[in-house]
Structure 1
Amino acid sequence: MLLWIGLYCFDSDTSKCLWDDSTGSAEMYDNFAGGFPLIDVGKCVYYSVKGALVGQWLNGECESETRAFICELPFTFADDCPNNYNGHCYTFHPRAPFVHAQTTCERECGNLAVIQSEAENRWISTVANNHSLSNYMFIGAIWPYPNVYAWVDGSRWDYNNMDPTYTHSDDCVVMAIDTTTGEAPGYWFSAPCEDGYISVCKRPAGITCNATAPVVVTPVPSNPSYCNAGIIMSPGFITSPNFPANYDNNLHCVYQLATLGSYSIILRFRTLVTEPSYDTIAVYDGDSIDSPSLGTYSGTRTPFSLISTGNTMTVVFRTDGSGVLQGFNARFTSYSR
């Protein structure tokens, strides 16, 4: 029997083979057979449970080859809650202002969800989207000043998924959970605390409430363009050089977007202002310009989104020798179809 494992290779190098659960690359440990990884035969990875290659890893074609697989879930505790993940129970509640939503969570011996990893953020976003609950949802984050963040339970701020292209405008935080808004699911945005949004509560599964810890705030990182930066992993953002100031003439920028092997990419252009027909943005559904085209754009466009069929996308920004404008900014994130 041959089994898929949660590993995807961007190149024939163990450091470029990344685990689907965001824990890093296979550089620390691998059991590839001799001559592997070898992406010429495929970028996904499987292993054999019997025969001469028992326990060894090999590459296979992700789309055309079918194999058995085993799903792995985080350890948790027995509880009768309907959404039990990684030691916690999650419940979803109807629209209410932030203070009322937090009060509801406290009655359940919990708080509005404190999100501590990309995997948890993706899980909450997926469950909420599957329930078709709403467009946005309160989480347990507070954003009182542009560079100051805090969790309602005082936990350490060591994971941040604020949309980097949006600025601070209100004190509370919502997660986008529906693509119909044009926002990428899973990203966080500031929102008025007094407005009514659905909410997600989080409490320990099978145990009493945890004690609080001191708040540690994290500064907002700088925003480089990522023009010709090589592979850029999701979630992230790209811009034309100098954005929001004007770009330069005679540019040829390639942006290689990627996410973990089991996901697609949703790319959201928030601003697109270029010289019509002469300064263009071409988007390809794959890891090179030889991949199928998703479109070529120029001029002034209202915000729009593109979704890849696989886990890579290529964006090429070209400018001619005269005329410059503001350019573009866009963000991308993992997307589960």
Structure 2
Amino acid sequence: MSRIKLCLKSLITQKMPSLLTFLLIGSCIASSLAEVTCPDGFTLVDGRKCLFATSSIGWHEYIAKECKSMGARLVSIKSEEDNDVVGVFAFNSGCYSYWIGVYCFSDNGNTTCYNDDYSGPITFSYWAPIYPKNSTDRRDFGQGVYADSYWNGGEYWRTSSSYKNQLLKQGICEAPTTIADPSCKYNYNGYCYIPSHEIPGVTTNSTTYPKAQAICRSLNANMVSIHSKLENDYIQSIYQDIRVYQITLGAQAFQPHVFNWVDGSSFDYSHRDPFDNFTGNCLEMNPWDGLWTEINCQVFNYFLCQRKIGDKLENLRLEGPKTSHIDLSDSSGCNGTIVLAPGTVTSFGYGTSPLPDTYCLWRVATLGSDRVAVYFTEMEIGDTLYIEVYHGKWDITFNGTYSYGTYIAPGNTAILSHDSDKDTKLKGFKGVIMAY
């Protein structure tokens, strides 16, 4: 039961003069609502959603990137009430059409749409007639979703291809609601984040894990724990204009490569660097790409403290979908269905000898507000591996032997293709698919 409902129930069950009851009810509602707030730049709408309308107009991938730069993502719409609230906000903000936090994938003529907030497939939709469109083109498998405001017909959803006929739209970004705390500069989802370089009285911004945790405890905080891609993105946004290349996280290993958070919360999310081969007893994050690596706890680093502000209003610590969908017996995913991050692709017959002579195509993706990244942890090929975003336009090629290689797509989908006719005596490749 909400705080307001509890307050009202308490007052209604008491025998009080009528005027005093109404005055206390008003005070009860005001004090409860006063706790709910939004990150700077966002507007609290309907007491429950923090929204921001982009002034810029662009392709889906660019508007999604703008939302992420603010520690947010494209808006989640999960009910008719949500749809109405967002539509009115868009209308009042002068938006005619706007990207929303839903993305669709077509496979073999069937289309499945996911929420961008990692809560899984959509359970509510408001499609215009003939939408979402089903594509049978294996290369045209991703579709951004946009809605119209009352300026332009009224809230109906439509899809736009990821690589052809891409449209230019504004976007509605959403950040989680939080609790007001005038003393907190970085206030997000019920927590206050305190970067070491902004802590008054700290003579050095870089120190060891034990001393960093002691400093955080002196502020009634702990070193930061991270529980979702959304939270990881927000922390990156704190450092986006600052020359800080590593921050120590609030994690310690209790056995090799297995960690606990110092604040006692569950270690239910990881964003480990696929190329990390070091064994350490602490973790650090690179704020530029958001990846985590193991380090020795005695390394001097910047750090980030995290303090809870009252009771959290909303829990966005959700991750999914977690399964990769493969329809061939070969584990490579060659010519299979879409591999949704987190996942892995390998060349056909990877690790066997001799390798088969096979042409393969892989379709990899992540959710709409993220970019898809492929981290090649092993590569030994004789024929060229092509990666494209738009049909017939290669973004990058790989050929030869690599200890590692990285590809980060401009958007959330990419296509890998490879003909292994020259690879029969080689090992092949392995790529880790992640959200970036």
Paired position in structure 1 for 2:379: 272
1:151: which partner in 2?
Answer: 261
Which residue number in structure 1 is paired with residue 119 of structure 2?
23
Per the alignment, residue 65 of structure 1 pairs with: 167
CA shift in 2, pair 1:133/1:244, >3 Å: farther
Give the superposition deviation at 1:239: 3.4
Q: Secondary structure at the match of 1:161?
A: coil
- The alignment partner of 2:387 has SS state of strand
The one-letter amino acid of 1:155's match is S
**Paired residue for 1:331?**
432
Any idea what the Cα deviations from partners look like across 1:138-174, whole Å, max 9, x if unmatched?
Answer: 1112233236321112212222222355446111111
Aligned-pair distance for 1:71?
Answer: 2.1
Counterpart code for 1:81: C
Cα distance between partner residues in 2 of 1:193 and 1:150: 14
Residue 202 of structure 1 deviates from its aligned partner by: 1.0
SS in 2 for 1:11: strand
Deviations 1:105-160 (A, max 9, x none): 111211111111121112212333442311x2211122332363211122122222
TM-score by length of 1: 0.78
Task: Show the counterpart of 1:89.
Answer: 192
Equivalent pairs, count: 308
Map 1:33-182; keep pairs closer than 5 Å. Answer: 33-38=128-133, 43-50=143-150, 53-60=153-160, 64-79=166-181, 80-93=183-196, 94-134=205-245, 136-146=246-256, 148-164=258-274, 166-167=276-277, 169-178=279-288
Deviations 1:226-246 (A, max 9, x none): 444422223444333565676
Give the CA deviation at 1:250: 1.5
8 Å CA contact 1:270, 1:330 repeated in 2: yes
C-alpha displacement of 1:305: 2.6
Task: After superposition, give the CA deviation of every residue in 1:76-132 in whole Å (9 maximum; x if it has no partner).
Answer: 011232211111111222221111121121112111111111211122123334423
Partner of 1:121, secondary structure, is helix
Q: Corresponding residue for 1:217?
A: none
Root mean square deviation of aligned Cα = 3.3
Partners of 2:362 and 2:117 in 1: how far apart?
Answer: 23
Q: Report the more deviating stretch, 239-248 or 251-260.
A: 239-248
The within-5 A match list for 1:218-237 is 225-237=332-344
Counterpart residue type for residue 218 of structure 2: R
Q: Distance in 2 between matches of 1:124 and 1:247?
A: 46
Name the residue aligned to 1:215: none
Q: Is residue 226–residue 255 contact of structure 1 (8 Å, CA) maintained in 2? A: yes
Summarize deviations over 1:299-334 as a string: whole Å, max 9, x none.
123533333222211112331276322333333433
C-alpha distance in structure 2 between counterparts of 1:245 and 1:302, whole Å: 19
Q: Is the 8 A contact 2:375 2:405 kept in 1?
A: yes
Query: How many angstroms apart in 1 are the aligned matches of 2:287 and 2:244?
Result: 8
Identity of aligned residues (%): 29
Per-residue CA deviation, residues 227-285 of structure 1 (Å, 9 max, x unaligned), is: 444222234443335656767222333321212223333333343222x3xx3321112
- Whole-Å Cα distance in 2 between the matches of residues 263 and 85 of structure 1? 19
Question: Per-residue CA shift, 1:183-237, capped at 9, x if unaligned?
Answer: xx222221111111221211113x399xxxxxxxxxxx9xx64444422223444
Q: From the superposition, tell whether residues 60 and 325 of structure 1 become closer, same or farther in structure 2 (CA, over 3 Å).
A: closer
Instruction: Indicate conservation of the 8 Å contact 2:355/2:427, yes or no.
Output: no
- 1:296 corresponds, among 381, 397, 412, to 397
Which amino acid counterpart does residue 30 of structure 1 have in structure 2?
S
Q: How does 1:243-282 map to 2 (within 5 A)?
A: 248-274=355-381, 276=382, 279-282=383-386
**SS of aligned partner of 1:104:** helix
Question: Structure 1 residues 320, 15: CA separation in 2 closer, same or farther (over 3 Å shift)?
Answer: closer
Pairwise CA distance, 1:68 = 3.8
C-alpha separation in 1, matches of 2:398 and 2:240? 30
* C-alpha contact 1:249 1:321 (8 A) present in aligned 2: no
Q: Distance in 1 between matches of 2:234 and 2:193?
A: 11
Distance 1:301 1:148, change over 3 A: closer
Q: Distance in 2 between matches of 1:138 and 1:244?
A: 36
Deviations 1:21-58 (A, max 9, x none): 222222x1111122111267992222233389533212
CA shift at 1:6, angstroms?
1.6
Contact 1:14 1:25 in 2 (8 A): no
Structure 1: gaps of 5 or more residues: 179-184, 210-220
Secondary structure, aligned partner of 2:180: coil
- Bigger mean CA deviation after superposition, 234-243 or 188-197: 234-243
8 Å contact from structure 2 (residues 190, 311) kept in 1: no
Unpaired runs of 5+ residues, structure 2, are 1-95, 197-204, 313-322, 324-330
